[in-house]
Amino acid sequence: MKNLRVATAQFENRSGDKAHNLSVIRRLAGQAAAQGAQAVAFHECSVTGYTFARHLSREQMLDLAEPVPDGPSIAVLADIAREHDIAVLAGLFEKDTQDRLFKAYVCVDKNGLVAKYRKLHPFINPHLLPGNEYVVFDLCGWKCGILICYDNNIIENVRATALLGADLIFMPHVTMCTPSTRPGAGFVDPKLWKNREADPTSLRLEFDGMKGRAWLMKWLPTRAYDLWRQQDLPDRRTLGDEVITATCTPEKLQQSGGHRYRKARRPDLYGNIIAQPHQPEQKVVWLHPSSDDTTEE
């Protein structure tokens, strides 16, 4: 196993404007490749947009969603991968041949679709169905998995994906500055975003507080630590589009806490407890166009 250079990218997508979003993905994938990245990961629903879907009917969702891998967006992502010689990971709404709707995240390289994952715990729109399987795939000699946003809050999902062989788990999110029932959550005033160049401090306080980074840092680093020892990674601080790249090494895997923790497990003590029958609680409050209700994170 050789070192793997992975980039992550952020950008302000346009709701429902797949052509625009794909053009930004193309540009930022080029920047990632210029930084030496072999793969670049974008946020969930980066192709389609996300939060606006709380207002969409089933028919509108079907118009927005695409088949995977035969939809046009996968073809564009493959073209981007060929152009920049880089694997691209991005999210979109998917519909199958029976018009069932899912929130999907894909890995695409120059040859086309490498892997597809469906979010296990979807919300934002009541017509989305949950996925029913973990996904582990090969990327440049590394075994990789995918868990989208809320999937990572359920600790069993992370451990199960690692036990299936994943060395690296992509965890795309649109979890900050979105509506939620948790204390301190909510949208950022659009006026702060529009005025970010003149007053970046006020916007940064919103992003860094409980609407944003402070909440994420309460739990996500724990999941990362289960796979890797802590790394000195650059923090994304730009109030706009940005790409950062890091190097994953086999040595870091061997030195990580998660590597030791998996070896120290005692399933003889709790295997039957964890495997007890359980009816999952779909704790979701939907956002409707005529309501101020909020979704859970």
The owner of tokens 């120059």 is 110
Residues catalogued as catalytic: 44, 119, 149
Would you kindly state where each structural domain of the chain is located, as residue ranges?
4-265
Q: Residues 51-56: contacts with CB within 8 Å, 24+ apart?
A: 51/15, 51/124, 51/174, 51/178, 51/179, 52/15, 52/16, 53/93, 53/124, 53/125, 54/124, 54/125, 54/286, 54/287, 54/288, 54/289, 54/295, 55/287, 55/288, 55/289, 56/125
Q: pLDDT tens string for the chain (297 positions)?
A: 899 999 999 999 999 999 999 999 999 999 999 999 999 999 999 999 998 999 999 999 999 999 999 999 999 999 999 999 999 999 999 999 999 999 999 999 999 999 999 999 998 899 999 999 999 999 999 999 999 998 998 889 999 999 999 999 999 998 777 767 778 888 889 899 899 999 999 999 988 898 888 888 888 888 877 666 546 555 667 778 899 999 999 888 888 777 888 889 999 999 999 999 988 876 554 444 434 444 444
What kind of architecture, by CATH, is found in domain 4-265?
4-Layer Sandwich (3.60)
Half-sphere exposure of 181 (CA within 13 A, CB side): 9
Q: Is the bond preceding residue 69 a cis peptide, omega within 30 degrees?
A: yes
Residue 45 is predicted with a pLDDT of 97
How much is the pTM? 0.90
Beta strands in 183-262 (DSSP E): 242-248
Residue 83 CA to its chain's centroid (Å): 23
pLDDT in the model for residue 260: 83
